[in-house]
């Protein structure tokens, strides 16, 4: 094991897959010489050259659609969308073209398309660079949606995404890029669609993903001091969702809290709760709870910004309530 940063783990995943398969190539804004705004593609241009590490103009709809076309035509593109906020620029190509393509042609081919992007609040980036938009992709049949929280998961899942024959939306978090964690020196892949129990517990099931996994684990440690034993499930993959893991845990604890940074209204959390209520209603011993971002545009001011997404304290308070009722 070596301790690496999240962005270094992603960089290693891209490098290894490009070394392994000459049909893997990268497209995106400023990913070449600059190495990407968050340095995920650092030094890849030097190793693989301009043909495979392609800087694009600011033409998101078309270069994302191009990645779709290149995937359909037999290559394995990894396209970077600088901010998930720009999803709104590319949704025809993602949702009407890439996601539906193989279905609409009767399953004739494969679409090994990976769109890497990042979301979440940073530090005063305001309303168009701070969103968590996974629910938009989650809603569209035909897309796999992956949101890893640790360097280990990021590397293993990005490699698996690149080898997947179906489209992947791979959403990183800007506050995770410098997070460190153990990553094996030898090659490994992680299965798409498998949650990971990041902390075992018997009292309350806490389901989360991406950056909120780290916050939830901090909350779980504080709650442990009060004698509340929280099981933290990191979904890692939102589509397909590992509901078996969630249901098994809920059947054990009888209590459920879901934590995500995205706005509460129409969020993935509502769907997780619905699934649990439909499948395990009689195993629940208390009302379920969503601890989610507020239904607001993210403000610029950092003190206001903090109020919009769940804090460790809010998670602690929420889980306490679920435990007590």
* From 2, 59, 200, 297, residue interacting with another protein (rule: CB under 8 A): 59
Query: What binding mask, one character per residue, do residues 267-306 give for another protein by CB under 8 A, x or -?
Result: --------x-------------------------------
Taking the complex as a whole, the smallest distance from the CB of residue 219 to another protein amounts, in Å, to: 26
* From 68, 181, 201, 318, residue interacting with another protein (rule: CB under 8 A): 68
Q: What are the C-alpha distances in Å from 68 to residues 40, 41, 73, 115, 164?
A: 21, 20, 9, 9, 14
* From 16, 39, 61, 248, residue interacting with another protein (rule: CB under 8 A): 61
Q: 200: which 2 tokens?
A: 């075992």
**Are 157 and 192 spatial neighbours (Cβ–Cβ below 8 Å)?**
yes
* From 12, 13, 67, 207, residue interacting with another protein (rule: CB under 8 A): 67
Question: How many C-beta atoms lie closer than 10 Å to residue 74's C-beta?
Answer: 10
Q: Closer CB to another protein, residue 23 or residue 308?
A: 23
Q: How many residues bind another protein (CB under 8 A)?
A: 43
Query: What binding mask, one character per residue, do residues 228-247 give for another protein by CB under 8 A, x or -?
Result: -----------xxx-x----
The residue with tokens 């996601």 is 99
* Cβ within 8 Å of residue 31, ≥6 positions away: 40, 41, 44, 45, 53, 54, 55, 80
* From 20, 43, 74, 304, residue interacting with another protein (rule: CB under 8 A): 74
**Are 104 and 96 spatial neighbours (Cβ–Cβ below 8 Å)?**
no
How far is the C-alpha of 92 from the C-alpha of 82, rounded, in Å?
18
Of 129, 139, 173, 260, which residue is the catalytic one?
129
Regarding beta strands 53-55 and 114-119, do their DSSP bridges make them parallel or antiparallel, or are they unpaired?
A: unpaired
Q: Closer CB to another protein, residue 109 or residue 254?
A: 109
Is-catalytic flag, 129?
yes
The CA-based angle 14-142-242, given to 5 degrees, is 75
* From 64, 195, 217, 309, residue interacting with another protein (rule: CB under 8 A): 64
* From 32, 77, 112, 318, residue interacting with another protein (rule: CB under 8 A): 77
Characterise 197 by phi-psi region: left (phi > 0), alpha (psi -120 to 50), beta (else). beta
Question: How many C-beta atoms lie closer than 10 Å to residue 162's C-beta?
Answer: 24
Footprint of another protein on residues 85-114 (CB under 8 A)? 92-93, 96-97, 101, 103-109
- Interface residues with another protein (CB under 8 A) are 22-23, 25, 27, 51-52, 54, 56-57, 59, 61-75, 77, 92-93, 96-97, 101, 103-109, 239-241, 243, 275
Catalytic positions, written as ranges: 129
């Amino acid at each position: 094991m070596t301790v690496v940063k999240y962005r270094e783990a992603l960089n290693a995943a891209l490098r290894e897959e490009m070394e392994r398969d000459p049909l893997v190539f990268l497209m995106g804004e400023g990913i070449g010489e600059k190495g990407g705004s968050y340095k995920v593609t650092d030094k890849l241009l030097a190793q693989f050259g301009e043909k495979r590490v392609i800087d694009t103009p600011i033409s998101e709809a078309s270069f994302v659609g191009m990645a779709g076309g290149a995937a359909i035509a037999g290559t394995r593109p990894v396209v970077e969308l600088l901010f998930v906020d720009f999803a709104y620029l590319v949704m025809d190509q993602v949702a009407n073209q890439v996601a539906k393509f193989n279905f609409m042609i009767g399953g004739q081919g494969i679409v090994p398309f990976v769109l890497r992007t990042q979301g979440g609040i940073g530090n005063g980036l305001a309303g168009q660079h701070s969103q968590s938009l996974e629910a938009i992709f989650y809603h569209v049949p035909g897309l796999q949606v992956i949101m890893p929280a640790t360097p280990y998961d990021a590397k293993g899942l990005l490699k698996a995404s690149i080898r997947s024959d179906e489209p992947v939306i791979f959403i990183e978090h800007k506050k995770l890029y410098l997070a460190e964690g153990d990553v094996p020196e030898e090659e490994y892949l992680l299965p798409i669609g498998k949650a990971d129990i990041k902390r075992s517990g018997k009292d309350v099931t806490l389901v989360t993903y991406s950056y909120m996994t780290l916050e939830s684990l901090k909350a779980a440690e504080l709650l442990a001091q009060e004698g509340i034993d929280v099981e933290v499930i990191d979904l890692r993959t939102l589509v397909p969702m590992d509901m078996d893991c969630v249901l098994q845990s809920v059947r054990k604890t009888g209590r459920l809290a879901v934590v995500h940074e995205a706005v509460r209204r129409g969020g993935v959390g509502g769907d997780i709760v619905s699934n649990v209520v439909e499948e395990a209603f009689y195993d629940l011993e208390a009302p379920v709870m969503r601890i989610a971002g507020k239904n607001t545009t993210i403000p610029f001011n950092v003190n206001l910004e903090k109020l919009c997404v769940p804090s460790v304290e809010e998670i602690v308070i929420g889980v306490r309530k679920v435990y007590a009722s």
